[in-house]
Amino acid sequence: MKVDIKDRDFKWIDLKFSDLVGNFHHLTLPAKNYEEIKKNGVGFDSSSCPGFKSVEGGDMVLIIDEDSAFIDPFFEEPTISYFCYIKEADTKGEYLRDPRTVSFKAQEYMRKEGIADNVLFGPEFEFYIFDRVIVNNSENISEYKIESYEGKFGFDDTYINESGEFLMKKSGYHSIPPKDKFTDIRGKISNVIIDYGIDLIYHHHEVGSAQNEIEIKRYPLLKTGDNIQIIKYFIKNVCYKNDLSATFMPKPLYNMPGNGMHFHQHLFKNGKNLFFGNGYGGLSQIGEYYVAGLLKHGKSLLAFTNPSTNSYKRLVKGFEAPVKLFYSLANRSAAIRIPKYAISENEKRIEFRPPDGTCNPYLATAAMLMAGLDGIKNKISLKDNNFGPFDQDLEKMDKNVVEKIDSCPTNLLEALEELKKDHDYLLQGGVFSEDLIKGYIEYKEKEALEMAKRPHPYEFELYF
């Protein structure tokens, strides 16, 4: 909902921003200082934020985006909140590692190239809601425990769902109450999203016990990044206030469905959908080039769209998660699906299925756009690169055919190596910088190596 600081007697101004890897941060100031904040910005120590500057040069400044103003519903006192750009403290010039700036520049690059004047992204939010979660990670303890009344699993054998209404494994898709115990919580979350001003398509129970989904309509690039950050914030806070815990982890439970964040997307020019045509699945030639760009750069792209070690525990066979880089009509084992129901000119689009909710949404969507634009500019061929279409489920296809299709990376370090080799498409128009990519890779490599050094409980079962 559009709001102006003059509309109400606000007590506080809350400034929100994202670091390089997508963590959401905030800083709260008295509302009476608005004019000074608007003029000069607010300084902060970026060295304490993942992926930003070092201690000796960490001073940066937050500059508010006035068009992003909204009333934060989780503050007790009247608080107006803004998304912010991160700028250099001394010059107020652009900071090349600011995710929001990257998103803005990607959109401008698309327009300057004359390819399209708008791109719309529609994310699907998949998440688990648990009753209790305990995490213990130290030198001599490595454990997590998850409790779900709906899923009939707890910390020990004494935890019992005595209602008789619970969900069996992988049986939750579109289930109804009383088996779906989160209808009201999803309703509360959805009301907050709608009140904020985002158009919501639907909410429903997902396949896994305690797993949920909310899908919103498609929005421009920068707005999509803001939408994702704020919706995750809303989901976490509504659950917290109801003594529940929400997670977007791609694979929080072994042998249970993972959480993805599929991205529907299409390009427009002069109000016309550039993806609508008479090719396979109703795609235009431009749409096919865009798809080929995503798949051609798919391995390096996953460093941004699937940036956690946990991401690759989801991208395995048997869970409707893509493991091969190909496209298809309606095939949910494909990396890119053309929705069969989206047949009208305005609705024709593609869905990129590998991403998950651990991504930095500004960088992930900007990277997807840059890959697609590269496909259009260089007229990358789907056929010549063996990208399909393949309409069968991978499990039912000839093994010799499947082996010839490019695979998704199987772990984070592999994806980061692919990014090192293939990132020129991201540098076009100065959208991404070598500095950002280098800093991102260094941070994520350290994260992956820290994970690799730690003994795992399953290793004790195997080797103790």
Any binding-site annotation on 213?
A: yes
Q: Which of 19, 131, 180, 206 is catalytic?
A: 206
Q: Which of 111, 174, 332, 454 is catalytic?
A: 332
**105 CA to centre of own chain:** 19
Yes or no: say if 315 and 306 are a contact pair by the CB < 8 Å rule: yes
Written as six digits, the tokens of 127 are 């998440």
Residue 190 sits at φ, ψ, to 5 deg, of: -65, -35
Written as six digits, the tokens of 177 are 């109450």
Q: Which of 131, 213, 356, 418 is catalytic?
A: 213
Any binding-site annotation on 8?
A: no
Beta strands in 148-244 (DSSP E): 200-205, 211-216, 219-220
| Segment (H or E) for 224 | helix 221-241
Any binding-site annotation on 445?
A: no
Any binding-site annotation on 66?
A: no
**Measuring CA to CA, how many Å separate 48 from each of 22, 81, 85?**
14, 22, 17
- What is the residue type of 412? L
Taking the C-alpha atoms of residue 163 and residue 177, their distance in angstroms, rounded to an integer, is 12
Any binding-site annotation on 124?
A: yes
DSSP letter, residue 210: T
**Upstream peptide bond of 177 is cis (omega within 30 degrees of 0):** no
Yes or no: say if 262 and 140 are a contact pair by the CB < 8 Å rule: no
Written as six digits, the tokens of 105 are 């520049």
Q: What angle do CA 408, 263, 302 make, to 5 degrees?
A: 25
Written as six digits, the tokens of 419 are 């990014």
Any binding-site annotation on 353?
A: yes
Which of left, alpha, beta for 60 (phi over 0: left; psi -120 to 50: alpha)? beta
Beta strands in 211-260 (DSSP E): 211-216, 219-220, 245-247
SS3 category, 15: strand
Tell me whether residue 332 is one of the annotated catalytic residues: yes
- In degrees to the nearest 10, what's the CA dihedral of 190, 196, 197, 200? -10
Tell me whether residue 213 is one of the annotated catalytic residues: yes
Taking the C-alpha atoms of residue 13 and residue 399, their distance in angstroms, rounded to an integer, is 58
Tell me whether residue 356 is one of the annotated catalytic residues: no
Q: Which of 152, 372, 160, 395 shows the shortest CA–CA distance to 264? A: 372
Tell me whether residue 206 is one of the annotated catalytic residues: yes
Any binding-site annotation on 147?
A: no
**Measuring CA to CA, how many Å separate 45 from each of 41, 55, 107?**
13, 8, 28
Tell me whether residue 203 is one of the annotated catalytic residues: no
Any binding-site annotation on 345?
A: no
Q: Which of 351, 356, 374, 418 is catalytic?
A: 351
Tell me whether residue 162 is one of the annotated catalytic residues: no
Q: Which of 100, 262, 264, 423 is catalytic?
A: 262
Cβ–Cβ contacts within 10 Å for residue 460, how many? 10
Q: Which of 45, 391, 424, 459 is catalytic?
A: 45
State the residue for tokens 């809601």: 129
Any binding-site annotation on 139?
A: no
Any binding-site annotation on 165?
A: no
Tell me whether residue 351 is one of the annotated catalytic residues: yes
| Segment (H or E) for 225 | helix 221-241
Tell me whether residue 165 is one of the annotated catalytic residues: no
Pairing, β 336-338 against β 327-329: parallel
Cβ–Cβ contacts within 10 Å for residue 145, how many? 14
Binding site as annotated, residues for Mg(2+)? 124, 126, 206, 213, 262, 351
Binding site as annotated, residues? 124, 126, 206, 213, 262, 314, 320, 332, 351, 353
Binding site as annotated, residues for ATP? 332
Q: Report the catalytic residues.
A: 45, 124, 126, 206, 213, 262, 332, 351, 353
Binding site as annotated, residues for L-glutamate? 314, 320, 332, 353
